[in-house]
Amino acid sequence: MNKTLIKILKLNPDDENEATLEIGGFPIRCFIGHCPNAINEGEEHLVELTMYFEDDYKAVEAPERQPYMKNTNNGFSVEIAGHLDSNSLRSITILDDEDIHYDHPELNDKFIIVYADRLQVDFD
């Protein structure tokens, strides 16, 4: 379990499960999975980030070795570029690989782009 320092940029007043966070300098819309205490825009927190995938998710070798994250639609879908290193994806933060290395063994130890259904944030 890796903890990541984030800053809360925006909380959706119409959806308590949606927050836009600054992660490694990138604004990312995330799904709030666990949040036992009140949070406010502008605050910084150490959180756990988890990638969630559809059964037929896409992962490909990246043409460039530049880590990034970006939302791909108006929902929670996110494109993540980073180095797949056994059981972690080293992007703008280190994420557990959620079995990408099993589903795509040909991408192990390579710089990849993976398309996640959502990036979930869990606050302590």
pLDDT (0 to 100) of residue 2: 81
Q: If you average pLDDT over every residue of the chain, what do you get?
A: 96
Largest pairwise CA distance in the chain: 43
- Where are the extended beta strands (E) located within 57-110? 59-61, 68-71, 78-85, 88-90, 94-96
- The pLDDT tens digits for 23-78 are 999 999 999 999 999 999 999 999 999 999 999 999 999 999 999 999 999 999 99
- The pLDDT tens digits for 75-101 are 999 999 999 998 899 999 999 999 999
Domain span holding position 74: 3-123
As a dihedral over the C-alpha atoms of residue 38, residue 24, residue 63, residue 65, rounded to 10 degrees, the angle is -140
Average of per-residue pLDDT across 94-119: 95
Q: What is the number of domains present in the chain?
A: 1
- Residues of 85-121 as b/e, b for ≥16 C-beta within 10 angstroms? eeebbebbbbbebbebbeebeebeeebbbbbbbbbbb
